[in-house]
Amino acid sequence: MDLVVKGRCYYEGNLAQLCIGIEDGRISRIATNLDGDTVHDYGSRLILPAAIDSHVHMRDPGATHKEDFATGSLAALHGGVTCVLDMPNTDPPTITPDALKEKTVTAASKSVVDFGLFAGVQPGVDIEGLAAGAVGFKLYMAGTMGDLLVPSLGSVEAELRAIAASGKVLAAHAEDECLRRKDPESGLEDHLRNRGNDCETSAVRKLRELRIEGLRTHVCHVSAMDTLPLLSNGGRMTTEVTPHHLLLDKDSKLGAFAKVNPPLRKREDRQALFKALKEGRFDTMASDHAPHTVEEKEEDFDYAPCGMPGVETMVPIMLQLVRERHLALSSLVSRLCERPGELFGIPKGRIGRGYDADLMVVDLTVSTDIKADRLHSKCAWTPYDGLSAIFPKVVFLRGEVMTEDGSLVGERAGRDVVDIAAAR
Ligand code: DOR
Ligand code: ZN
Ligand code: ZN
């Protein structure tokens, strides 16, 4: 055995004092006692699978003044995320096989975590060509950042059929462009009025009514309480929730820094989402890490761009909620690790034989306050400044220690998860 990691491991839904045997970066054995060339003994600390953040915007290429794969992936790693799935609304957008290849080369040369790339859906795009290299497809049903709006599902019916045939997931930004108002905005209330709950429910209904055999639809960032009843449809659609829609609402004092699509809604919405999370009604949690610079966010509210960073703070905030018993550990591991791995076909997110040895060591008794200047995103701010959180002590990527006590120590380069999956 190359390497053995010992501690209180999250294994098959329980915590148990175990040894994880690792060979060639993968978990090869799990047992009470194992010998290895190198042994890391973490005593009674928790060993959890590292997280997969299945919704991030690394801004690379095109807006690398906000973020790039180097800074964004470093932020991910320090937050216990060893795999990020990047969205296609970059410049150029990821809608041709060439753009996808180029982004893959960029990510492989800069990222310190593994990555998958979404391709964008537009009328006439080469779905087959894109499916070979993309981790999934992304459909924007309303105008937001970037130029990938598809206002009518009818205009991409052939493309959706081709996506169904490819077996890849269709992730949807579900807001209905027809119901979106474009009145001037001076604050979060106005932003919510322009993108009311009906905007989301109408889009989700349209997705639900799509009759495309075999299409695997994933609803991104569910934000409205009225959407919840629409999701109990026999498991045909899967769903994502974000930390900001669970923790923040329109009464936030952050102004344009909290301007995001879909918008922050009422307190009742946020509470309903949290209850649904506890009941296991979401498949995944993802950060929708969407960094913009402080200068951009300080523009007049109406002109400020939408989105907020979150890839580094998601796991630490959720671990704090586990510590405070607001959330079960199993719920966190399921939404942040296991389900994203299953949905997107990535052999990560589980302490089990054959999975990549992507792990985090956590001490649930040690919380620290989130501080923007200790985070790694290029955008250099966070909506969660001052909040208590539990940052992982150690993060492993494919069997290598990458961060220890908040410092980068590993040298692994990020790999494309589509390649990783294909090699199995
Ligand atoms: O607020 C948002 N920001 N919503 C999106 O759909 C896109 C994202 C971004 O790319 O900034
Ligand atoms: Zn979105
Ligand atoms: Zn997004």
In a domain, residue 100? The reply is yes
306, 377, 378, 379: residue to mutate for ligand 1 pocket, most atoms within 8 A of CB: 306
Tell me, yes or no, whether 153 and 243 share the same domain. Answer: yes
Tell me, yes or no, whether 44 and 58 share the same domain. Answer: no
How high is the pLDDT of residue 151? Answer: 83
Identify the domain boundary among 344, 367, 383. 344
Distance between CA 376 and CA 144 in Å, rounded? 25
Identify the domain boundary among 310, 344, 378. 344
In a domain, residue 113? The reply is yes
Tell me, yes or no, whether 160 and 281 share the same domain. Answer: yes
* Residue 368 φ/ψ, nearest 5 degrees: -130, 165
In a domain, residue 349? The reply is no
Identify the domain boundary among 291, 316, 344. 344
Tell me, yes or no, whether 313 and 417 share the same domain. Answer: no
Closest ligand to C-alpha of residue 173 is 2
In a domain, residue 151? The reply is yes
From 53, 288, 358, 363, the catalytic residue: 288
Tell me, yes or no, whether 227 and 363 share the same domain. Answer: no
150, 244, 245, 261: residue to mutate for ligand 1 pocket, most atoms within 8 A of CB: 261
CATH number of the domain residue 156 falls in: 3.20.20.140
Q: Any residues with CB less than 8 A from the CB of 114 and at least 6 apart, and which? A: 82, 83, 84, 348, 356, 358, 397, 398, 414, 415, 416, 417, 420
Give how far Cα 170 sits from Cα of 131, 176, 216, Å. 11, 17, 6
Residue 306 CA, closest ligand 1 atom number: 1
3-class SS of residue 254 = coil
How high is the pLDDT of residue 54? Answer: 98
Q: How many domains does the chain have?
A: 2
In a domain, residue 384? The reply is yes
How high is the pLDDT of residue 1? Answer: 83
Q: What is the distance in A from the centroid of ligand 3 to the CA of 323? A: 28
Q: What is the distance in A from the centroid of ligand 1 to the CA of 308? A: 8
For the beta carbon of residue 404, count every other beta carbon within 10 angstroms.
Answer: 14
pLDDT tens, position by position, 68-109:
999 999 999 999 999 999 999 999 999 999 999 999 999 999
Tell me, yes or no, whether 119 and 216 share the same domain. Answer: yes
Query: Which portions of the chain are predicted below pLDDT 50?
Result: none
In a domain, residue 301? The reply is yes
Tell me, yes or no, whether 159 and 216 share the same domain. Answer: yes
- Write down the residue that tokens 């969407």 correspond to: 290
In which domain, by residue range, is 383 found? 3-48+354-422
Ligand 1 close to Cβ of residue 317 (< 6 A): no
Tell me, yes or no, whether 267 and 380 share the same domain. Answer: no
Give the residue, by CA position, lying nearest to ligand 1 atom 7: 145
Distance between CA 138 and CA 140 in Å, rounded? 7
How high is the pLDDT of residue 85? Answer: 98
Distance between CA 115 and CA 73 in Å, rounded? 9
94, 148, 222, 288: residue to mutate for ligand 1 pocket, most atoms within 8 A of CB: 288
Strand order in the sheet with 284-285: 51-56, 81-86, 114-120, 136-140, 169-173, 216-219, 237-241, 284-285
Residue 220 CA, closest ligand 1 atom number: 6
Distance between CA 148 and CA 307 in Å, rounded? 16
Q: Is 288 a catalytic residue?
A: yes
In a domain, residue 368? The reply is yes
In a domain, residue 92? The reply is yes
Give how far Cα 183 sits from Cα of 147, 194, 297, 312, Å. 20, 7, 19, 34
Helix (H) or strand (E) holding 113: none
Tell me, yes or no, whether 244 and 230 share the same domain. Answer: yes
pLDDT tens, position by position, 401-415:
999 999 999 999 999
Tell me, yes or no, whether 193 and 319 share the same domain. Answer: yes
Q: What is the distance in A from the centroid of ligand 3 to the CA of 260? A: 9
Tell me, yes or no, whether 114 and 12 share the same domain. Answer: no
CATH number of the domain residue 402 falls in: 2.30.40.10
Tell me, yes or no, whether 228 and 323 share the same domain. Answer: yes
